[in-house]
Structure 1
Amino acid sequence: MARRGYYRALGETVVGALNKRGYRAFYCDSKEEARAKVLEIVPQGVSVGIPGTVTVLELGLMEALSARGNRVVEHTLSVFSDPGERARRLLEERDAQFYIAGCNALTYDGVLVNIDGTGNRVAQMAWSTVPILYVAGVNKVVRDVEAAIDRVRDVATPMNALRLGYAIPCARVGYCIRCGSPDCICRKTLVVEWPQKGRDEYFVLVGEILGF
């Protein structure tokens, strides 16, 4: 009960900050509630681009969207025969009618921080003509931007490196050493203070531990 109450208090505080910044933000106690909220927000029939995101996988959103008729464009679960095929899929994700992404970290006052290896995800976050919906667990919430960057580098990146099979230093030692290696996946950092003017941007914050 105490944990649930703490998650709700923190989540509602952060959601309030996100709404003040111009997002349409919602707090959900559970994965099931969050999945229902996402399905309520995303229009039926539109194509949905989804970049690499463990949170979306854990919520079962790809299956839920596909089951009701949305065309899901993703590269996380797909197998590609060559780099060109993967690049074409990333462009298809970009050109979908709706975009759903996780969020590496966000601050108490509603600033979003994301770090990419390829840059496809942060590019879409920075600017697009289509709506975007972020979804994240309360484990992604930190005090400020400095703590957010530290969280991404020291927590999310080593786990993603292990998930993707990259033999880079953080995967071996468990935290970022600013390696600059050829396979480094901390290549592009985006700090979003305000949503894009004229674009519908949603955020669903979940009172559970989700993603990396």
Structure 2
Amino acid sequence: MAEFDCVKMRNQLRAEKVIKELKGRNMTGYYADSREEALRMALEIIPKGASVSWGGTISIEQIGLKDALRKGGYKLYAVDDIKDPEERRRAETLAFNADYFLTSCNAVSEDGILVNIDGRSNRVSSIAYGPKHVLMIVGMNKIARDLDAALSRAKNEAAPLNAVRLSADTPCAKTGVCFDCKAPGTICCQYLVTRYSRQTGRMILILVNDYLGL
């Protein structure tokens, strides 16, 4: 069996376990074999005419979801297009009531617990409460063995990489290593651990057989 086939089979088996665990936490999971399939599934989930917003996420761009939504048929709160801080805050407040909030996840444990770290905290607040649905596009690279491993991945891998991407004025952006800093520009202001959803059908994850995001 070719190396790629082994990885693909392992990812599918691992995803099946995560999806089963998500169901036990009142969350819905799907598995997409490719970015193209993930895009198709996402567009099937989000109905035409729905209001849609998103948090800081590379993954939805990588599968082409943001571009597909911009082509029309949806009410978009594209807050990342807004440069003025006050105007952006008003848009984010409106987006808090969107039908669908799109994001990824910094890490997901094999038993279905979601871990996210945020700086401005608009992303984690919308995951926790507000929008009617939260749709996460998650590459299989973000699956961790357990909660401790998920927290470690979010803090020691995802956060430093995102700090570099955002040119944050933090030690990790200069060294690539977390210093557990209290720098004014830290992107590690809020940790959100989601272990259960009281609202049936609100939390939806598409696990993708690919390396997505950071």
Q: TM-score range by the shorter chain?
A: over 0.9
Paired amino acid for 1:5: M
Count of residue pairs the alignment pairs up: 210
- Which residue of 2 is the match for residue 84 of structure 1? 86
Secondary structure at the counterpart of residue 31 of structure 2: strand
Unaligned 5+ runs, structure 2: none
Cα offset, 1:123, TM superposition: 1.0
Of residues 14, 18, 22, the one that matches 2:22 is: 18
Question: CA separation in 1, counterparts of 2:104 and 2:147?
Answer: 17
Aligned to 2:62: 58
CA distance in 2, matches of 1:119, 1:196: 21
1:129: how far off? Answer: 5.3
Q: How far apart are residue 170 of structure 1 and its match?
A: 0.6
Asked if the contact 1:129/1:199 (under 8 Å) is kept, the reply is no
- CA deviation string 1:72-100 (max 9, x = no partner): 22333x151x3212212322321222111
Within 2, Cα distance between the matches of 1:172 and 1:165?
Answer: 9
In structure 2, what is the Cα distance between the partners aligned to 1:90 and 1:145? 30
1:9 corresponds to 2:13: yes
- 2:187 alignment partner in structure 1: 185
- Identify the residue that residue 145 of structure 2 maps to in structure 1: 143
- When residues 45 and 109 of structure 1 are mapped into structure 2, their CA distance, relative to the original with a 3 A threshold, is same
Partner of 2:205: 203
* CA RMSD after TM alignment: 1.5
Answering whether residue 33 of structure 2 is matched by residue 29 of structure 1, we say yes
In 1, Cα distance between the equivalents of 2:201 and 2:128?
11
Instruction: Give the secondary structure class of the aligned counterpart of 1:27.
Output: strand
Structure 1 outlier segments of 4+, above 6 Å: none
- Specify the alignment match of 2:46 in structure 1: 42
Within-5 A mapping of 1:154-173: 154-173=156-175
Whole-Å separation in 1 of the counterparts to 2:31 and 2:134: 17
Amino acid of the residue matched to residue 45 of structure 1?
A: G
Aligned counterpart, 2:74? 70
Question: Does 1:93 find its partner at 2:95?
Answer: yes
TM-score for both structures, normalised by structure 1 = 0.93
Distance 1:136 1:8 in 2: 13
Q: Which whole-Å deviations, capped at 9, do the CAs of 1:5-47 have from their partners, x for residues lacking one?
A: 1111111211121122211210111100001000011111111
Comparing 129-138 and 109-118, the one that deviates more: 129-138
Q: Distance in 2 between matches of 1:199 and 1:123?
A: 18
CA distance 1:83–1:207, change in 2 (3 Å): same
Gap regions ≥5 residues in structure 1 = none
Amino acid aligned to 1:29: D
SS of 1:128 mapped into structure 2 = coil
**Paired AA for residue 153 in structure 1:** K
Alpha-carbon distance in 1 for matches of 2:42, 2:197: 18
Q: Is the 8 A contact 1:103 1:136 kept in 2?
A: yes
SS at match of 2:120: coil
